[in-house]
Amino acid sequence: MAKVVLKLGDDISTDIIYPGRFMATVLPTETPQYTFADITDFNARLKKSEIPQGSVVVGGKNFGCGSSREQAASCLKGSGLAVIARNFARIFQQNSVNLGLNLIICPDLEANEGDELEFTGDTVVNQTSGKSFGTVPLPKSLQATLDAGGLIPYTRQRLLHGKTLTGMK
Amino acid sequence: MGMTMVEKILARAAGLAEVRMGEVVEPRVDLAMSHENGALVLNQFNEIYQGTGLEAKVWDPSRIAIIFDHRVPAESAKTATNQKKVREFVAQQGITKFHDIRGDEGGICHQILPENGYVRPGCVVVATDSHTTTHGALGSFAFGIGATEMASVWALGCALNVEVPGTIKVVVDGKFAPYVLPKDLILYLIGQLTAEGANFKVLEFHGETIRSMDTSGRLTLCNMAVEAGATSGIVPPDAETLRYLREVAGVTENVPIFGPDPDAIYERVIEIDAASLGPQIACPHTVDNVKPVEAVAGQPVQQIVIGSCTNGRLDDIEMAARLLEGKKIARGVRMLIFPATARIFREAMRAGYLSTLMEAGAVVANSGCGPCLGIHQGALGDGEVALSTTNRNFKGRMGNPKGEVYLCSPAVAAASALTGVITDPRKGS
């Protein structure tokens, strides 16, 4: 079970997730302090450790659009959050998988802040409303990275064990 | 069965006879560019090699470009230290395409790459910046990636897990009316497609309007393809591409000229009549919130920005200078000009454009990303409104979530500087 701690609308840009003025901070260990920095009350709760690990941010369509800044994925990962959205913008989705941030694509999800969600394979069950919603798997192109636990271990495997293609067609 | 531009490029780069939309390939990378975020890339790069017993050496230092543009000169000790780390890495690895903070060869990465001939038709270009789509203007397949993915490219020389994208064909015919520019075309298209309308897809540009457009305009078009979510924009290379590569970029060797196959398969075709377009404005706080200039004319603005990888080229500055010559910008408006590169800065200086703009009251700052993403200079005050030739108007984008950003062409920006309100350049002042 995971609680919805923040509900957002469509087209949430990486400028909202991680405002550009904090981009001089790059290391994944340091970025979580600026997660949703301009949603000041939520950022304050994160900083006071009031948000349990594994909590969920719910977005609409095109979550993570805009800049390729990887801080947007690393800050969410470092804050212990997962994201469920109708769909994700390409670069953000790729960055998230590369870093091991948990993304769930759920086109029809209905959920409000405070709702408790349960994930069962290809379904999200909103325990608060009692409704279930189907999920869409991440693109197959990302499977090899997912299987390896992120792009750093996957690239390391490829360096050590040569260029055997995995996850093709 | 025929292939699109990007299918052809990916087939070559993956060593395959043909590829189709949806296939997963590992294309060799011809050029891999980073800016200040190279500091994060090198951190991730070193982490890849942890515990492997291998020496952390990039696959090909001649194919890596590093360009400082986001915070130049450094605005803080933190940035300066990051830049110092990247400089040391560049020297240690022997990276040759390095553009430091310099008045002879510095500038914004997405203009540095084309004007130095680093991008050629048919290349695969990756860069840790979403506006990498720009380089499709020269017929390359160019897309933005994150820092960890770049670290993987530095190690392996190929991009892993690339799904061949589908392509939307955009056909533009007709002649632009006076004061209607390529920026208006791409804003209009983004308004039609919406911010996610081309997510995971490529925009391939065709038609008489594109063929008769110079490379500067094509760079503007492809630059903003990402604002419709596109993986890349691309223009089939032609005589104009060859002219640009020869005359501007100093490329002397032969470059491949190719187009899509006549029977290439497109996801959809969009047709636009350029002659019917007027100046367009993207209103706060999404780039797809596009309206004709008439709909927002009269909106007061406090800051006007001309610059960025979208519209900081010589023709953009020339357009502003032409409209402001012998005139004064309105009191209460600050107008900031950021020539895209040091080379463009010097050309604009020699042509007298910068004097003209300064005499009108504009401030000319050194080449760099400037206020576009609110990280260096030109931040907005609470409740202030900016009109900008840059590429994004997201909440908080220009350094303040209590500010608003409208996006426009250089012609609208210059006409509005004279009045202090959003102004249709066709109406004069």
| Cα B237 to Cα A144, B84, B143, B241, B315, distances in angstroms | 35, 38, 17, 5, 21
Q: What mean pLDDT comes out for the span B343-366? A: 98
Domain locations along chain B? 5-272, 280-427
Cis amide bond preceding B285, omega within 30:
yes
High-pLDDT (> 70) share of chain B, %: 100
**In degrees rounded to 5, what are phi and psi of residue B334?**
-105, 130
The residue type at A19: P
Q: What is the pLDDT of residue B64?
A: 98
Q: Do A19 and B401 touch (CB under 8 A)?
A: yes
Our CA-based measurement puts residue A118 at a distance from the nearest CA of chain B, in whole angstroms, of 28
Tens-binned pLDDT, residue by residue, of chain A (169 aa): 999 999 999 999 999 999 999 999 999 999 999 999 999 999 999 999 999 999 999 999 999 999 999 999 999 999 999 999 999 999 999 999 999 999 999 999 999 999 999 998 899 999 999 999 999 999 999 999 999 999 999 999 999 987 544 433 3
Candidate from B47, B128, B231 with C-beta closest to A90: B231
Task: Note the pLDDT tens digit of each residue in B198-257.
Answer: 999 999 999 999 999 999 999 999 999 999 999 999 999 999 999 999 999 999 999 989
Mean pLDDT rounded to a whole number for chain B: 97
- Nearest-CA residue of chain B relative to A155? B152
Q: Assign residue B275 a region: left if phi > 0, alpha if psi is -120 to 50, beta otherwise? A: alpha
At A6, which helix (H) or strand (E)? Answer: strand A2-7
Report which of B186, B177, B135, B136 is spatially closest to residue B407, judged by C-alpha positions.
B186
Task: Note the pLDDT tens digit of each residue in B91-118.
Answer: 999 999 999 999 999 999 999 999 999 9
Chain A contacts in chain B segment 50-89 (CB below 8 A): 52, 54, 70-71, 76, 78-79, 82
Our CA-based measurement puts residue B102 at a distance from the nearest CA of chain A, in whole angstroms, of 21
How many angstroms separate the CA atoms of B206 and B108, rounded? Answer: 27
pTM, two decimal places: 0.96
B280-427 maps to CATH 3.30.499.10: yes
- CATH T-level topology, domain B5-272: Aconitase; domain 3 (3.30.499)
- Nearest-CA residue of chain B relative to A67? B130
Task: Note the pLDDT tens digit of each residue in B117-152.
Answer: 999 999 999 999 999 999 999 999 999 999 999 999
Chain A contacts in chain B segment 279-298 (CB below 8 A): 286, 288
How many angstroms separate the CA atoms of B266 and A95, rounded? Answer: 27
Candidate from A15, A25, A68 with C-beta closest to B396: A15
**Dihedral angle computed from the Cα positions of residues A28, A29, A34 and A35, in that order, rounded to the nearest 10 degrees:** 60
How many angstroms separate the CA atoms of A31 and A22, rounded? Answer: 8
Q: What is the pLDDT of residue B370?
A: 86
Alpha-helix residue ranges (DSSP H) falling in chain A: 14-17, 40-47, 71-78, 90-99, 143-148, 151-161
Task: Identify the residue among B49, B50, B161 best suited for mutation to test binding to A, counting A beta carbons within 10 A and taking the highest.
Answer: B161
How many angstroms separate the CA atoms of A4 and A51, rounded? Answer: 10
**A149 interfaces chain B, CB cutoff of 8 Å:** no
Domain A2-137 is in which class? alpha beta
Our CA-based measurement puts residue B323 at a distance from the nearest CA of chain A, in whole angstroms, of 32
Q: Do A151 and B54 touch (CB under 8 A)?
A: no
| Burial classification of residue B426, based on how many CB atoms lie within 10 Å of its CB (0-12 exposed, 13-18 middle, 19 or more buried) | middle
**B151 interfaces chain A, CB cutoff of 8 Å:** yes
**A11 interfaces chain B, CB cutoff of 8 Å:** yes
Q: What is the pLDDT of residue A161?
A: 86
- Residues in B touching A145 (Cβ below 8 Å): 160-161
Domain locations along chain A? 2-137, 139-169
Q: What is the pLDDT of residue B427?
A: 86
How many angstroms separate the CA atoms of B110 and B233, rounded? Answer: 14
Report which of B142, B121, B62 is spatially closest to residue B246, judged by C-alpha positions.
B121
The pair of three-digit structure tokens given for residue B77, joined into one six-digit string: 């000790």
The pair of three-digit structure tokens given for residue B126, joined into one six-digit string: 């990756």
**B320 interfaces chain A, CB cutoff of 8 Å:** no
3-state SS string over chain B? Answer: CECCHHHHHHHHHHCCCCCCCCCEECCECCEEEECCCHHHHHHHHHHHHCCCCCCCCCCCHHHEEEECCCCCCCCCHHHHHHHHHHHHHHHHHCCCEEECCCCCCCECHHHHHHHCCCCCCCCEEEECCHHHHHHHHHCCEEEECCHHHHHHHHHHCECCCEECCEEEEEEEECCCCCCCCHHHHHHHHHHHHCCCCCCCEEEEEECHHHHCCCHHHHHHHHHHHHHHCCCEEECCCCHHHHHHHHHHCCCCCCCCCCCCCCCECCCEEEEEEHHHCCCEEECCCCCCCEEEHHHHCCCECCEEEEEHHHHCCHHHHHHHHHHHCCCCCCCCCEEEEECCEHHHHHHHHHCCHHHHHHHHCCEECCCCCHHHHCCCCCCCCCCCEEEECCCCCCCCCCCCCCCEEEECCHHHHHHHHHHCECCCHHHCC
DSSP helix/strand/coil, A94: helix
How many angstroms separate the CA atoms of A85 and B42, rounded? Answer: 31
How many angstroms separate the CA atoms of B398 and B338, rounded? Answer: 15
Q: What is the pLDDT of residue B428?
A: 62
Our CA-based measurement puts residue A22 at a distance from the nearest CA of chain B, in whole angstroms, of 7
- B398-409 in b/e form (b: 16+ CB < 10 A) is bbbbebbbbbbb
The pair of three-digit structure tokens given for residue B73, joined into one six-digit string: 């000169």
| Cα B303 to Cα B72, B100, B241, B322, distances in angstroms | 21, 29, 35, 20
**A75 interfaces chain B, CB cutoff of 8 Å:** no
The pair of three-digit structure tokens given for residue B100, joined into one six-digit string: 């430091």
pLDDT at B349 over 90: yes
- Non-local (6+) Cβ contacts of A99 within 8 A are A28, A70, A73, A74, A77, A150, A151, B148
DSSP letters, A53-68, are TT-EEE--SSBTBS--
DSSP state of A116: E
| Cα B266 to Cα A7, B23, B33, distances in angstroms | 36, 15, 29
Task: Note the pLDDT tens digit of each residue in B370-390.
Answer: 899 999 999 999 999 999 999
Q: What mean pLDDT comes out for the span B14-39? A: 97
**In degrees rounded to 5, what are phi and psi of residue B349?**
-70, -50
pLDDT at B351 over 50: yes
Task: Note the pLDDT tens digit of each residue in B256-311.
Answer: 899 999 999 999 999 999 999 999 999 999 999 999 999 999 999 999 999 999 99
Q: What mean pLDDT comes out for the span B67-88? A: 96
**In degrees rounded to 5, what are phi and psi of residue B307?**
165, -160
* Contact by Cβ (8 Å): B142, B126: yes
Our CA-based measurement puts residue B20 at a distance from the nearest CA of chain A, in whole angstroms, of 11
CA angle B43/B46/B52 to nearest 5° reads 155
